[in-house]
Amino acid sequence: MDTIRLSDMQEHTTNHKQFKNSTETVFTKKRRDLYVVYSYGEHFPMYIYDHHVHLWFGNYDKYSPTTSKHQTMARPDADEINMLSTEELSALVRLGSYGEFCSERCVTNIAMYYNKSTGITNHNNGGQ
């Protein structure tokens, strides 16, 4: 893994290169087909590229002034970046792909829809 200057982050991110900065406050990890850029730990993914679907995802949440600077400097040179929350990006990483992320959201949304529209109860709440 390359140790780079902050000013080189955009190039490395754009080209999906593994890197960390000298203080290791910004770093990357591979998770299955995902390339993930983090700021100050795995609790704050800034950018994710899914190699399977060829899509970029970015974090629209703010964490600190320094992390905002990291987000600006590491932003990939891409025509489109799909912006999600920290929670959504963390789920994407946990699930390992955008396809799995979409699948889980569909199942969750269907369950919520059926519970509200038909009165069908969740088996986990004792049928109440």
pLDDT tens, 17-76? 999 998 999 999 998 899 999 999 999 999 999 999 999 999 999 889 999 999 999 999
Question: Above pLDDT 70, what percent of the chain?
Answer: 84
For 104, the domain range is: 2-122
Within-domain flag for 91:
yes
In the chain, the number of structural domains is 1
The pLDDT of 6-25, averaged and rounded, is: 94
Question: Above pLDDT 90, what percent of the chain?
Answer: 67
Decide if 45 contacts 71 (C-beta within 8 A). Answer: no
Q: What is the pLDDT of residue 104?
A: 85
Report the distance separating Cα 59 and Cα 89, nearest Å: 7
The pLDDT of 95-123, averaged and rounded, is: 67
Within-domain flag for 128:
no
Report the distance separating Cα 43 and Cα 109, nearest Å: 25
- Please, what is the average pLDDT of the chain? 86
Report the distance separating Cα 57 and Cα 124, nearest Å: 33
Within-domain flag for 53:
yes
Within-domain flag for 93:
yes
Within-domain flag for 127:
no
Q: Is the pLDDT of residue 101 over 80?
A: yes
Decide if 34 contacts 92 (C-beta within 8 A). Answer: yes
What distance lies between CA 94 and its chain's CA centroid? 9
Which carries the bigger pLDDT value, residue 124 or residue 53? 53
The encoded tokens of residue 31 equal 């998770």
Q: What is the pLDDT of residue 114?
A: 53
